[in-house]
Chain A
């Protein structure tokens, strides 16, 4: 430890110019910072304007992010947390670790979204993705899905955000009828995976007819792999939304820079990177429009529980889900 401090000290003395460059630390999920994620392009673009050093720190997946913030508490080195979603914002606000952003953002979200602590940067609709060549006529509702003998893979709401999203989806669409829907779906569910990637992997291996993912998933296959066989089933009851947000930590030692980053987040330079790196809808549609395939599967109706409502409904919904699926 002492040697580490010594090294840090020597470095400071040796490079006084570097020491003056302010560092903005952004805590985010792994795939955001990866080589093929939005991180590298956004880092370059922001550093070109801010005279600062932008550092993305990966903290596991989306669900791990909030746990990490709570673990670090006020001692955190991070200034901004990017990548929480609306099912977590109520819990995040309750920690009182976040500072109000004080901004009014104009976005292209299909629903009204305003939160004193968090600004959205992208969003998507959950949907069941399928192979159009094998399943040309996908079911049009949960009830139709439950009545069919189609096999689906879903994620566990206790370990994954899409899994939690599905739980909220059924709750928002069916309210008290949710247990009945889950009971109907029980024989369709091949298995429940811990995270999105396992479920999607199983689907691609042919283990299921459909997988819980996003309406934009087919666009990835279309654009990155020139494969237009994937589709997203549109449900009449509407599709639950995932809105990904960022917020400033109250303990930040660079509050101005953090504000500057949150402003930058809703500009063209940031937003235009999102669709083909994060494969989500950008919060502000770029001037160039959306890439091919992003309009292919647009639900007519969007569902979203208010953060506080989602938080309150979660435990009961989870218990219903467990009871219905425990065979």
Chain B
């Protein structure tokens, strides 16, 4: 279980709080106005920002002293998810072994993951030779390989068209199903939140509200969600 225990995050004069928990297999869309702190929340869970107070716990263990790379987390950023100087295969391999000393078994898994996301045979390519969708797939393939219990998505598909984004979300769900991961996905699009299934945590005015079921939320939105969605 992921617990945000009276968590306060501070960046300059900006401050936000969260105090809720989520089950290990939850699918949570994180929504809210621009600048509300959605990325800040993910950065804190991934280990890039120290809480100014409160705790982040995973399965009861405080993550304060766990370095980013050792957290039970895979994160996909808005961009820069692949190292441009390495091949796709090397980029994936880093998810298995940071020293890239891959065993034949590792390589087989790697090829399998590439095939799984539809990048068959693209291992030797450099990121610059991939389309945006392909780069996202490669990053997801790495998430699949790493199989960490928490998958954080910081709008990695924002630059993709609606159809492609739909495909990616299918892929995310599939990856999450296969790895049994808790998913926290930042998005602006209610359709994405619905497509993800599960819950939505709404962020506004310095508070990350506890996740509630997405359909229920949209069916009967509170005032600030209404404002955000632009409904009257």
A and B touch in the complex (CB under 8 A): no
B residues touching A (Cβ–Cβ < 8 Å)?
A: none
